[in-house]
Chains A and B, each alone.
Chain A
Amino acid sequence: MCYYNGQKVTRAESIRLKGIEKAIKKYNFLNVGVHNGFNYAPCAILIPSADGKDFDIVQAEWGYVPGFVKTRNEANIFRAKYTTLNFKSENLFVKEDGNRSMWADAAKNRRCLVLSTGIIESRHIPKIGKKGQPLKEMIKYPYFVTVKGQEYFFMPALFNEWLDPETSQFVNTVAIGITEANNLMRQIHNSKLRMPTVLTEDLAYEWLLGKPNEERLAEIARTQIPSRMLDFCTIDPSYRTAGDAIPRDFPELAALDMTYLDTTEELKFNHWPADLEPVSAEKKELVLAGETTLTYYPPGMNKQGDLFS
């Protein structure tokens, strides 16, 4: 007689449940605090379902491996050499030299989304020498960056189903899209001046389930989220081993320039609606109507025109 969780089950059902148990042990769910890309560990991605009308959540190793790579060893060497954790959105279809990009095929046929609650990037500050001079050696201060008012957000990504010859199993591998940094991320990720592409819900839908042409896909991939939509804090450098982003202050660290909150940021690929997080100077705008009534015009609502002209 077989039992499962105190219930009498058939032998076949018991075997099935034990099989699920075994698979679950190897399965990585969404609840991983910090994903370190250089571990190439599995993360959850959203891929279109077979009918293309919905999506499925599947696992993928972070670090894209193209089909021509034959062995696991070659795959690791390839990833270390070319750092395929991300793809440059400017090169989605065409490389700088004008040739077809290695991402082009995946961009057409294997687009997916990576779900994230926040990103970690390090700000590089030169160490100061005994005479007060900046040294070449850098101190890295990690920052945890999130999207204001959103528990999680979507990044456009490309995946490839790669056959691991050692296990004879197909493994999904994935790369996320990166774009030119906004004002905030230029200060945080000051070594590269890049940032992950963060999409609005509509753009995430279009990227995953829509049928955009190459030009539109390239435009979506380059989306730059405005700085004022982001929240940030410094975190303990132990995040890689702790697996969690624990806020920590560094008194010696100069504050970031946050004047971007007061002005409209000029970004070439800002596809985020302006009214989601208005410029703070606009928020304070008050218009005196008559002598006693103060009227506040929310962003997106125009001031009333002159009825008599």
Chain B
Amino acid sequence: MNDPDLFDIEISGQIVSVSVHLIKSAKVFHVLQPGNKLPLNITVAENKEGKRFWTSVPEGRQEEAEFAGKVIAAYIREYRRNPLCVTTTDKKLPVPNLFG
């Protein structure tokens, strides 16, 4: 099962939309926040010690990136743990939900 491309998460009590985009072979999470806040783009980078970390792209919103990244990671982990399961009594294939 693939990870979802579009989903909603809760950050600081607000629902924000996240869309996933493949840009230059990197997974970029585009976080749309309510109100007049600028959308946030985050991705996973690797530091000199080989440790992975969340970063905003472009630079400058590291704190937000780390916070949103943690929530996104938790959402995806949970999503992978609880795959949608459809049982059916007839021979028709279940129709997967487009929205994951």
The residue from B23, B39, B99 contacting A23, defined by CB atoms under 8 A apart:
B23
In contact, B62 and A6 (Cβ under 8 angstroms)? yes
In contact, B59 and A24 (Cβ under 8 angstroms)? no
Within 8 A of B (CB), among A44-76: 44, 49, 54-57
Q: Closest Cβ of chain A: how far from B29's Cβ, in Å?
A: 11
Say yes or no for A296: interface residue by CB 8 A criterion. no
Say yes or no for A27: interface residue by CB 8 A criterion. yes
C-alpha gap A95/B48 in the complex (Å): 61
C-alpha gap A21/B43 in the complex (Å): 11
In contact, A205 and B57 (Cβ under 8 angstroms)? no
Say yes or no for B13: interface residue by CB 8 A criterion. no
C-alpha gap A10/B62 in the complex (Å): 18
Say yes or no for A258: interface residue by CB 8 A criterion. no
In contact, B58 and A24 (Cβ under 8 angstroms)? yes
Q: Closest Cβ of chain B: how far from A57's Cβ, in Å?
A: 5
Contact string, B47-69, partner A, CB cutoff 8 A, digits 1/0?
Answer: 11100010111111010010000
Assuming A23-B24, A29-B19, A205-B96, is B55 touching A7 (CB within 8 A)? yes
For B48, what are the chain A residues with a Cβ–Cβ distance below 8 Å?
8-10
Say yes or no for A304: interface residue by CB 8 A criterion. no
In contact, A20 and B23 (Cβ under 8 angstroms)? yes
With contacts defined as CB atoms under 8 Å apart, how many contacts are there between chain A and chain B in the complex?
A: 85
Within 8 A of A (CB), among B58-100: 58-60, 62, 65, 95-99
For B53, what are the chain A residues with a Cβ–Cβ distance below 8 Å?
7
Assuming A4-B59, A7-B55, A9-B48, is B19 touching A30 (CB within 8 A)? yes
C-alpha gap A54/B30 in the complex (Å): 20
Interface residues of chain A: helix, strand, loop or mixed (majority): mixed
Say yes or no for B45: interface residue by CB 8 A criterion. yes
In contact, B65 and A27 (Cβ under 8 angstroms)? no
In contact, A5 and B5 (Cβ under 8 angstroms)? no
Segment at the B interface, from A11-19, A167-175, A281-289: A11-19
The residue from A6, A29, A49, A202 contacting B30, defined by CB atoms under 8 A apart:
A29
In contact, A205 and B95 (Cβ under 8 angstroms)? yes
Q: Closest Cβ of chain B: how far from A48's Cβ, in Å?
A: 12
Name the residue on B nearest A152 (C-beta): B6
For B28, what are the chain A residues with a Cβ–Cβ distance below 8 Å?
20, 24
In contact, A9 and B98 (Cβ under 8 angstroms)? no
Name the residue on A nearest B19 (C-beta): A30
C-alpha gap A204/B30 in the complex (Å): 24
Name the residue on B nearest A115 (C-beta): B6
Supplied contacts A24-B28, A154-B98, A205-B95, 10 more A-B pairs, CB within 8 Å: A4-B59, A7-B53, A10-B46, A16-B24, A29-B21, A31-B30, A31-B39, A57-B5, A201-B99, A204-B98
Mark A residues whose CB is within 8 Å of B. Answer: 4-10, 13, 16-17, 19-21, 23-24, 27, 29-31, 44, 49, 54-57, 154, 201-202, 204-205, 208
Mark B residues whose CB is within 8 Å of A. Answer: 2, 5-6, 19-24, 26, 28, 30, 32, 39, 41, 43, 45-49, 53, 55-60, 62, 65, 95-99
